[in-house]
Each structure stands twice: as structure tokens, then as C-alpha cells.
Amino acid sequence: MTPTNLLDFDLPQLTDWIQSLGERPFRARQIFRWIHREGCDDFAAMSDVAKSLRAKLAEQAIIAAPRVLRDSVSRDGTRKWLLDVGGGNAVETVFIPERSRGTLCISTQAGCALECAFCSTGKQGFNRNLSTAEILGQLWLANRLLGAAKAEGDWDTTEGPDNGRVVTNVVLMGMGEPLANFEAVVHALRVMLDDHGYGLSRRRVTVSTSGIVPAIDRLREHCPVALAVSLHAPNDALRDRLVPINRKYPLRELLAACQRYLERAPRDFITFEYVLLEGVNDAPEHARELVTLVRDVPCKFNLIPFNPFPGAPFARPDEDRIRRFASILMEAGLVTTTRKTRGDDVAAACGQLAGQVRDRTRRSRQTMGIDQGEMV
């Protein structure tokens, strides 16, 4: 019999499973806290759980996160793990330390099928969705590894939450499109938010999407957390080329979904992510067009100067061009930040995550070869 991985369960699912063993529901809460609050993977160490139940768990269950294949640390303190998810696939998880917080960037798919032109993950192709255990296991593992490093004095750059963990914020912005793996992602989110689990605020958990409109509406109903939308273009003609999902869900539909989402969102704004590509989407007229596009959507902009990767047909704009673009947005009253590049020396920056993907799509890579001049 294949053992059940308890990282696959949110609390209601774990409760049902525990009851199927003939145990009382409160036992699920005990075990859940041991797994997620204590980072425990040894049933024998769960001291307040009955010995008879611990024996059942040892026979029928495991607590197993993806295995670490490589652990890389950037000169700026950013840490990236390459994690084995089986079948020849590996995904990447990135931890970004700051004085006031520690942010973990989590992957949700082995590869990505959306083929955004400027993203290294999209170049790898797509194999499969990650399970809840594989998504949640990234947070579980990071807390264990970072907690050990902090205890040994190897990492002390963030204050961390009251419970002593060093991961204070989670962003689902790693490999894959989170909303294309909806069920597993929502179960993982519920564990992150559960007070018996990681107890994170909805404001401190962010799902990033390229714009799958029906799934944005579903997230609004099932588990509204902070939402970031990968915009990257101020009009449909350009976005169709940069973010191909736009051909199915154009900007008018996407922005309407953002408005609906705000009715339930934990924040009163949507974050629009915008990768700046030299000579493609970074001209002053693009910025002015953006101002008009989002005038009815409460939002902030997160500008991301392009982070190069091998084979990419794009370049990063110079600093003056970046500042001019940002100033146009800010002068129009839009809250705008320019993301500081972190971890680029270990290919951990935004858009650089690639991992190892056994592509099952056998699709062409023509998107990656588009000439910049065709995109203007």
C-alpha cells in the first residue's frame, strides 16, 4: 500500500482521513499543528498524540516534501532550491530575505504552457501540475531549512513573525501559472492561511496570474488572497504577442475580472506586474497608454526590468528609460515601484526560473524567437 502524504491535505481533508482511521476529529488538529507549525516529519516525535495513533500513522502515512537537488545562495542573500518532483522534473523555489520580512516564491507547475515570450519557464515547456504536497512542501521545507540556518547563526537578516518562522510572505510567482492548477493551489492556500497551519494573513499571500479570467472569478469565491496580474502591455495587439493567453481573455475582460475580484480581496488594489523590455513596451507612449487603460481599476504597478536568460530575444532598458517610464505613471497618481533585481547571479530573479522540465507538449518555440521589432 502506498502511504498517504499528509502534506496533500488541508485541515478538513486531514480530519476526514483521521476519522476514516476510527480516530476523533481533534487528533487531526494536533497532527496538523505538528506538521505545519513545528515542521515535524517524525510521527514518533508528536508527543501529545496517542501512541496507538502514532503507530497507525507510521504504517499508513508520510510527511514528504520534494527532495533538494541543489541549494544556491546569491551574493545578496537570495536563496534558491532546485527540487525534485519526480519523472525527470525539478522545480525552483526562491527565498528573498529583507530586514522587515522574508518572502518565499513558490512554483505551482513543472514548466508552463502559457509561453509568455519573456519568461524562461515558458521556454522549458510543460509537463504537469504539481500536487498540493509539492506546492505546500516548498513552504514546509523552506521553514525547516531557514529555521535551521537561523538557529545556527547563518541567517539573521529578517525579524520574522512571532512564531519564529522566517518566511513571512508567500508569493505564487514561481514556475507555472497558479490558476491553471486551481484545486491544488487553493488547498495549499488554505493551509497557509489556517491558524493551525502557517497562520499567514491573506494580505501576505499573493497569487500571480497571467490572466485566466474564469479562474480569477473562482479564486474570488473560494479563497481570495492578494492578487497580482502579469500585465506587461498596454494594449491587446502587443499583449497578444507577449502574453498569448490574452488572445483568449483580452484586456477588457481581464480588467473587468480585476474589478470583480476587488469586491472580496484582502487589499483594496490589484498589483499589476510589468516587465520592461527595451524597445518593446517601455516607451513613454506605452506608459501613457497604461494610465488610460487602468484608470477605473484601483491598482499599483510593480515594474520589473527584464532579467536576461540564455536565448531570450530581449534586453533590459537603461536606468534613465526605466525612471522615465515610472515617472509618467507616478505623475498620473499611480502607486509605482520598480523591483530591485535579486538573485540574478544564481538565475533566481523574476522570469529566470527554469528548473528541469520534460516537456510533454512538443510545441514549437517560435514565440521565443520573435524579433523585437515585430512587437512594437
Beta strand 270-276 with 89-97 is unpaired
Q: From the candidates 119, 223, 299, 350, which is the catalytic residue?
A: 350
Q: Rounded to 5 degrees, what angle do the CA atoms 175, 176, 180 make? A: 160
Instruction: Answer yes or no: 92 catalytic.
Output: yes
Catalytic residue among 92, 134, 177, 273: 92
- DSSP alpha helix (H) spans, 80-127: 120-123
What is the number of other CB atoms lying within 10 angstroms of the CB of residue 300?
A: 16
- From residue 65, alpha-carbon distances to 29, 48, 132, 134, 166 in Å are 20, 23, 10, 6, 18
Q: Known catalytic residue: 183?
A: no
> How far is 127 from 113, CA to CA, in rounded Å?
9
Grid cell for residue 75: 551574493
Neighbours of 225 (CB within 10 A): 23
- Strands 67-73 and 270-276: what pairing? unpaired
Question: Distance between CA 191 and CA 71 in Å, rounded?
Answer: 25
Residue 99 has a CB neighbour count (10 Å cut-off) of 8
Helix residue ranges, H only, the chain? 11-20, 26-36, 51-60, 120-123, 132-151, 182-193, 213-222, 236-242, 251-261, 284-293, 319-331
d(CA 243, CA 241) in angstroms, rounded, equals 6
Of the CA atoms within 13 Å of residue 81, those in its CB half-sphere come to 23
Indicate if the alpha-carbon torsion angle 293, 367, 247, 213 is positive or negative. negative
DSSP 3-state of 299:
strand
> Which residues face 126 on adjacent strands?
111
Name the DSSP class of 225. -
Residues designated as active site: 92, 350
